[in-house]
Amino acid sequence: MSSPSDRRRSPRVEVVGKVQGRVASSDVTVVVREMSLGGMSIESEAAFELGAVTDFLLTLGDGAGVEIYGRAVYTRPIDGSHTPRFLTGIQFVDQEDAARDGMMSKLT
C-alpha cells in the first residue's frame, strides 16, 4: 500500500507565514501550513464539514490576492492547543491552471 505522499500528484510547499487566508463568506481566518498545485492544509478554529466546498481568500507575502475554492477531504482536532483548533486538508476545485500555477510560482 502506498503512503499518502506517494499518492500526491504534486509536491507540497511549506508556506507558514507566507500566505494569509480566510473564509470569504465569514471572518474565519485560517493558517495555511502547506500548499501544492492540488490543495493545501490549513489550521483554524473551525472544523470544516467533509466534502463541503468553501471559498477562500488568500493573500501572498507580496500583497497579491487570490480566491480559491476547495473541498474539505479531512479534518481532525489538533491536540495540545489552548483553544479548539483543527487541521483540515483542502483539495482545490474549479481552478484555472494559469491562476493556480501563478500562485505557486510566487511561493517557490
Q: Where are the domains of the chain?
A: 11-107
Name the H helices within the chain: 4-7, 97-107
Greatest pairwise CA separation for the chain in angstroms? 42
Read off the DSSP letter of residue 61.
Answer: T
The top-level CATH class assigned to 11-107 is: mainly beta
Cell numbers placing 29: 481566518
pLDDT over 70 percentage in the chain: 78
Cell numbers for 84:
479548539
- Cell numbers at 6, concatenated: 506517494
Task: State residue 99's pLDDT score.
Answer: 56
Q: Report pLDDT for 6.
A: 47
> The whole model's pTM is what?
0.75
